[in-house]
Each structure stands twice: as C-alpha cells, then as structure tokens.
Amino acid sequence: MQNDSDFKRNENKQNKDGNQPNNSNNKKILLGVLAFALVSTFLLNILMTSFSGSNMLEIKYSDFITLLEKDAVKNVEIQNDRLIINTDVSKIDLPEAMNRFNKTSEMVFYTGLVGDTELVKTMKEHNVKFSRKVTNSSPVIDFFTSWIMPILFLYIAFSLIMHFAAKKLGGGGLMGVGKSNAKVYMQKETGVTFKDVAGQEEAKESLQEIIDFLHNPDKYIKIGAKQPKGALLVGPPGTGKTLLAKAVAGEANVTFMSLSGSDFVEMFVGVGASRVRDLFKQASENAPCIIFIDEIDAIGKKRDGSMNSNDEREQTLNQLLSEMDGFDSSKAIVILAATNRPDVLDKALLRPGRFDRRIIVEKPDLTGREDILKVHSKDVVLGDDVDLHAMALATSGAAGADLANMVNEAALRAVRMGREKVLQEDLMEAVEVIIAGKEKKDRILSPKEKRIVAFHEVGHALASALQKNSQPVQKITIVPRTMGALGYTMQMPEEEKYLMTKDEMISEITVLLAGRTAEEIVFEIATTGAANDIERATKMARSMVSQYGMSDKFDMMALENTENKYLDGRNVSLCGENTVAKLDEEVLNIIRSCHKRAEELLVKNREALDKIAEYLYEKETITGEQFMEILKEVRGEDEEL
C-alpha cells in the first residue's frame, strides 16, 4: 500500500509539473495575441485615417474663412473634430490646392473645428449649405466599434492562422501545439507477427522476453526480475527494425504507439518537450503499451554545449530522459527505439534504466536470406526450377528490404514475359537489376569500345579463375546497364564467409585491377571504365593497412576508425600527418604488387584471354560454365587452374 500511495503522489506531482509549462505557454500565447491585436488596431486606425483623407487637403481655418468670403464654398459637413468643405473650383486661388487637384475635379478640403460662434451666421450670409449627421451611438458604442471589434476580428483571424499552423506542426489547434501526434496502432491494424519476420532470430528472441513480461509480469516480479524499460534496435537501413517493432505489437496484443524522432522537433522551443510529456501521459492512460520511436537520433544526439547546439532538441532530449526515469515500470510500458547511428546518441540515453537492452539487427546471413526469400515469395507463384538457396548465395550483403524488392522485380519480369509463374531466370535477372540496373538498350557501343569492354571483363574473370582464393565466375556480360556499367563480371561464393584472410584480400584486389591490366596488355591504353574498380581496390588496400593490421610496416597498429558503420562507413584518421604519408606509401605498394600480379597472370594466359574475349564480343553475354569450358580447352583439361 505504501508503494501504491507513493506512486500516486509522484504521478500527481508529474501531472502538476507537466501542466504548469502548458498553462504558462498558453498564457504567453494569449498575451502575445492581445498585444498583437492592440498594436494592429492602433496601426489600422492610423491607416484608415490616412486613407480617408487621401483625397482631401487640409487647410487653415483662416483660409476656410477666406473661401467663405469669396463665395467659393458650396457646402460644409460638420463632424466631431473637423469641417469637410466642398468648394467651387472656379473661385479658388490657392496655389497649394491647385497643384494638388485637377481643374476638372471637385476640390474638397478639411480643417479643424474651432469654437467659432459666428460660423453658422457667416455660412447663412453666403448661402452655404451645411449639415451634421445624426448618430444614435454613445461614446461607449464608438469605443466598441473603433477598438473592441477590430481587436476581436484580429484575435479570431490570428487564432485561425495558429490553428492551421498547429495542424501542420502536428498539434491540436492554437492551444494544442505541444500535443503528441503519435499514431496508435492496435494488433489488428499492424497485421504483423514474428512469422512475418525472418533472418533475425536473435533479435526476435530478445524481444520475445519483453512480450512475455507484458503478458505474464507476475512470474518475473515473483523472482525479483525487473522489466526492461527500453530496447534500442540498431542496424543498417532496410534490415527490418520497424517491422520488428510492429511484430512486437502484434505478438503482445497491446497498444502500440508509433512515431518518428523528427515528430518531436519543431521551430518553437518547448514544443518537443511538451509533446514528450503528452506522449507519456497517453502511454500511462493506455498501459500496458509499447512506445516505438523511429530514427531516435533526430532528438537523441549528444549534448556538446557548443555554439551550434539546438536548444529545442536538447530540451526535448532532457524531457525524454526525465520521463524514462519517472514512469513506473510496474505499469507495463515498454519503449522501443530504432536508429542506424548509435554512435551519435547521448550516453545518458543509453545507460541502464533507460534503454537497458541494445538489439543488433544486422544484415542476414545465408540462412537468414533464404528464410527471408521464403517469406516474401510465399504469395508468389514459383516455377519448379526455382532455387532460393542459389539466389541467397548470389545476394551476399543484401538486406531484407533488398530481397523483398528482388522478389517483386522477378514477379514483374515474369508478367512482362507473359508467364504465369516466376522462374529462376527471373529471380537471377532481378538480382542483376538491383545490383547493376536494367539493360540499357539504347546505348550502342562502337565496335572498338565493345572490344575494349570485352577484354576488360574477361581480365576480371581470368584473374578470378586463376587464383585459389577467388570466388567462381557465374556470368560475364558486356551489355550496358542503367547504373553506368558498360559490362560486369558476376561472381558467386560457394559458401557464406564471415572472415577474409590477407591472401583473399590480395586476390580480390588483383581481380579488381585485372580489368585495366587487360586493356594495357592488349590495347596499350588506359580507359575511364576502371574508375570504380580502382576505387574499390584502393579502399580495400587502405583498410588492410589502417584497420586490419595486415602490414609489416605498421604491424597491428590501428590508424583509422570507422564512423557511421551502418550508413556510409566513413573512415576517420587516428594518426598524425607524417604517419598518413607513410600509410599512403604502404597502400601504393599493395596496389603496385597486385597490379604486377594481375599482369603476370594475364600475360601467361594471353591465348585464353584473346579467345574468351572474342567469344564474349560475339555473344555479349556468357555463363560461368561457358567461360570455364573455353579456359580448360585452351589450358588443357589436366592442367590445374
């Protein structure tokens, strides 16, 4: 009972504290609106007065008397503070007035009302018509129409503007800018369970424990175990982090509140913090529930205190940290968050008690890719020759989203080809479309360029086939693709590998450089077609020296570190300028050594290079089996490759 009462007091205190900023913000907005309305009304009155007198000229009262005496005044309208004077143009001799008006126009003047007791008598003597409008309004009514009504009008207009702006910002009107716009999903709305998620067995196992706690909290409380408050899903894009979160909601059968980190961040300081408070208030009311924040790095970046810091984002982060500390774990509220930039998150957000568990959602391995392909192809009509294992082998490094896209591309191709089933060739063509793009039929190479590309690609294939540590060739083509490739050599690993030896990396660099080397041997030229090969080879050689300790000169010294490894994988130097220069020299030595090795292989097998390249030039596309048949024929069946 003591714990329950303490929790209620804390909850009331949180509600009280949470309402104070909202009330304060509302008062500030209201005062701002009233101040804006008063100033606007004052300026409006000035403008109205200015415009009302824009077609009249002010004159002195003495000039008005002069006009009366010259019988130049037709009629006079007497107002509260002035006289409006209509005149006869032909009888006026005022230079200022003549410059202002045209001779053909009616001339209207005004002058201030003076306590002249003889004015009415004078106007009668000169036959001037005069009048004064009869009004039933009192000073109170005049004040209301002149000031209160414009203020109300401006207030309503400003309120409507703020209402639509708040809708754009995700709030609920003028006083609801800080409302959370979390989308609440129930199990029937997500329609996703763990059966729909493949290739992430370890992640599902970690999340299954959280689901079991939501369903059966007593058995955990009985033994003294505390529910994890939060779990952070970390991994590259497209690996299924959001899908996993939806599957958790589907499995747990509890309220699922989903929103993005960017939904909290706005231009107004304090709005994000208010939305965090409102989100956790909703979660408390709907417990048990799961809160899912996608791309949490939008609000969870490290606080550095620099001049470029963002007050709004930091206030939002502080409020999130406070709320994660403050809610009662017995209320069965679990926070899931996803990011592919864990290195930029604030350490306070990652400590135990907030995100207790970090769940890595990596790209799937061979078995995982095959399982994912089975999930995405369950509703696709497949032919008898389909081998998903072979496709899984050919898609090393692909994420779940990539594999789903490949299956869909294969189905689309089958429809284009007029078939009712998806064949293996559709699946393998889809892999090539995702990797290299579609065939570019309108790009026709000249015979010379086509021959250069043929020798270039066969150079890659020969270097791969003639080395023990290389992957076997599956296909060679010189048909241009939409992603810029004029041709490519497709290799397929015989088994899934998680490590690369130094010899394997040297062989891979040699294969990459063999395309340009073939051009140099046969045509004695160098073309731009090897740009991507050179870039990849240099990057791999640099990683060997700077990160993997595969250099005698630097031994096992780390010279670079990888940042954003789940995104671009940019390397950051950890050494001084002198060491960087030596690092470049060591990378150059590796490149030169592999270049020389590729040259030796191709010169030694020049006959095979010429014969296979000519065959490829004629056919444009050959399979790995055709390539190996010609190679064995040239070298001899018994000669070991």
Q: Which domains does the chain have, with CATH numbers?
A: 17-52+142-176 (no CATH), 57-131 (3.30.720.210), 183-360 (3.40.50.300), 366-436 (1.10.8.60), 447-635 (1.20.58.760)
Tell me the residue length of the chain: 641
Determine the pLDDT at residue 592: 96
Segment among 309-313, 373-377, 585-589, 601-605 with least mean pLDDT: 309-313
Query: Over the stretch 340-354, which tens digit does the pLDDT of each residue have?
Result: 888 888 888 888 888
C-beta atoms surrounding 389 within 10 Å: 12
HEC string for 200-238: CHHHHHHHHHHHHHHHCHHHHHHHCCCCCCEEEEECCCC
Task: Sort strands 473-477 and 621-623 into parallel, antiparallel or unpaired.
Answer: antiparallel
3-state SS, residue 345: strand
Residues 79-104 have a mean pLDDT of 66
Determine the pLDDT at residue 20: 43
Query: Over the stretch 489-548, which tens digit does the pLDDT of each residue have?
Result: 888 777 777 889 999 999 999 999 999 999 999 999 999 999 999 999 999 999 999 999
Determine the pLDDT at residue 53: 47
Q: What share of the chain is helix, strand, coil (3-state, %, to 5)?
A: 55, 15, 30
* Token output for 607: 């006959």
Banded pLDDT at 608 (limits 50, 70, 90) = very high
Among the listed residues 251, 432, 457, 586, the single catalytic one is: 457
Residue type, 35: A
Contact 250/191 with Cβ under 8 angstroms? yes
303, exposed or middle or buried, with CB in 10 Å at 0-12, 13-18, 19+?
A: middle
Determine the pLDDT at residue 570: 78
Helix axes 311-326, 271-285, angle to 10 degrees: 20
Of the two residues 163 and 523, the one the predictor is more confident about is 523
Annotate 339-361 with b (16+ C-beta within 10 A) or e (fewer): bbbbeebbebbeeeebbbbebeb
In 3D space, the residue among 363, 375, 368 whose CA is nearest the CA of residue 392 turns out to be 368
Query: Over the stretch 26-66, which tens digit does the pLDDT of each residue have?
Result: 555 656 666 666 666 666 555 555 544 445 778 888 888 88
Residues 10-16 have a mean pLDDT of 41
Determine the pLDDT at residue 135: 62
Banded pLDDT at 373 (limits 50, 70, 90) = very high
Query: Is residue 471 predicted with pLDDT exceeding 60?
Result: yes
**β-pair partners for 109:** 57, 85
In the β-sheet with 57-58, what is the strand arrangement from edge to edge? 57-58, 108-112, 82-87, 73-78, 129-131
Determine the pLDDT at residue 256: 83
The predicted model scores a pTM of: 0.67
Q: What is the dihedral of CA 578, 584, 588, 594, to 10 degrees?
A: 130
Determine the pLDDT at residue 32: 64
Query: Is residue 112 predicted with pLDDT exceeding 70?
Result: yes
**β-pair partners for 333:** 289
Query: Over the stretch 391-430, which tens digit does the pLDDT of each residue have?
Result: 888 888 888 899 999 999 999 999 999 999 999 999 988 9
In a 13 Å sphere around the CA of 193, the CA atoms on its Cβ side amount to 6
Query: Is residue 104 predicted with pLDDT exceeding 90?
Result: no
Of the two residues 541 and 132, the one the predictor is more confident about is 541
Residues 436-447 have a mean pLDDT of 78
Decide if 457 is catalytic. Answer: yes
